Amino acid sequence: MSTIQFVNVSKQYPGASAPAVDNITLQVPEGSIAVLLGPSGCGKTTLLKMVNRLHQPTSGQIFLDGVDIQSIPVNQLRRNIGYVIQQVGLFPHLTIAKNIAVVPELLGWDRQRIRNRVDELLDLVHLPLDFRNRYPAQLSGGQQQRVGLARALAADPKVMLMDEPFGAIDAITRESLQDQLLELQRRLRKTILFVTHDVEEALKLADEIIVLDKGRLVQKDTPCNLLANPASDFVRQLLNTDDRIRQLSLVRVEMVMKPLHPAIQLSPLPQVPVGTDLKRVLSLMLSPAADTVLVTHEGKPIGCITFEELRKVGCLSN
């Protein structure tokens, strides 16, 4: 169970004039983060909740690793999918340890295994072990959301659904949670469907961004391609691509480059000389397998640039 596949999925709420999700076909590859992005009411949550069958599609099919989710008993399906929501939804009458242990308990793990797993997870989301016996009300919002994440990861699901998990959290804590999620993802390689309406968050987290408008899929692409080649005015405006590209053209590579990592494989990477602007770098990154561009001075590599540096430039201008 690890690729998520939507085939002609539509959802029409009773009494609504237009479908909330309109004939969507797409695939989230195994081990990647796909971010659903779009304005409020465009159907992001509806699409997400059809994966764990909190909503039922009006038509179409959803497959997890080729298996139609309708053929899996609903609670079994849900126990195998991590689910994180904006309001966190921790159980206030249970301790943090008990909250994290919910799905393992439903799956009938033995006590020792659950204990060990809880400790492991608290560690994973950078919470002190003595939080075990606290209650959710004794934690800050950011800490609660970490517990929410640990709870969703508890039974090591391959698929995670995250609906604006950091939406209600202050900007600084949000940044750190995003960094942590990326760090976790490098290790755990989950297939993650992530909802946000924060463009920066989408650009930062996504392997691919899925832009929705009024229930329709407008564009599905890597952050880099999306910025360079927005498919429509809607995408252009949503991501504010014109401003970002203009910003990039004003910044030169030596202003943002990172020092070279000794282990980096230099040979196949595109190179640009000092003095090049970042707009040119973005265009080089469009070609596949060029997630890093080398900066050279008199023919020798002296630094490198990844999409992260480009994103931060656009981020600062906003």
Ligand X SMILES: Nc1ncnc2c1ncn2[C@@H]1O[C@H](COP(=O)(O)OP(=O)(O)OP(=O)(O)O)[C@@H](O)[C@H]1O
Per rule CB under 6 A, is residue 264 in the interface with ligand X?
Answer: no
CB nearer to ligand X: give 38 or 303. Answer: 38
Per rule CB under 6 A, is residue 56 in the interface with ligand X?
Answer: no
Neighbours of 39 (CB within 10 A): 13
Residue 300 site contact among other proteins, Mg ion, ligand X, none (CB < 5 to 8 Å, cut-off depends on kind)? none
Per rule CB under 6 A, is residue 216 in the interface with ligand X?
Answer: no
Stretch that binds Mg ion, among 41-49, 57-65, 143-151, 264-272 (CB under 5 A): 41-49
Q: Per-residue x/- mask for Mg ion, residues 44 to 73, rule CB under 5 A?
A: -x----------------------------
Residue 226 site contact among ligand X, Mg ion, other proteins, none (CB < 5 to 8 Å, cut-off depends on kind)? none
Q: Per-residue x/- mask for other proteins, residues 23 to 62, rule CB under 8 A?
A: -----------------------------x-x--------
Residue 46 Cβ vs ligand X, minimum distance, rounded to whole Å: 3
Stretch that binds other proteins, among 98-106, 113-121, 227-235, 310-318 (CB under 8 A): 98-106
Residue 116 site contact among Mg ion, ligand X, other proteins, none (CB < 5 to 8 Å, cut-off depends on kind)? none
Per rule CB under 8 A, is residue 88 in the interface with other proteins?
Answer: yes
Residue 19 Cβ vs ligand X, minimum distance, rounded to whole Å: 9
Residues that bind other proteins (CB under 8 A): 52, 54, 74-80, 83, 85, 87-93, 102-103, 106, 135, 137-138, 151, 161
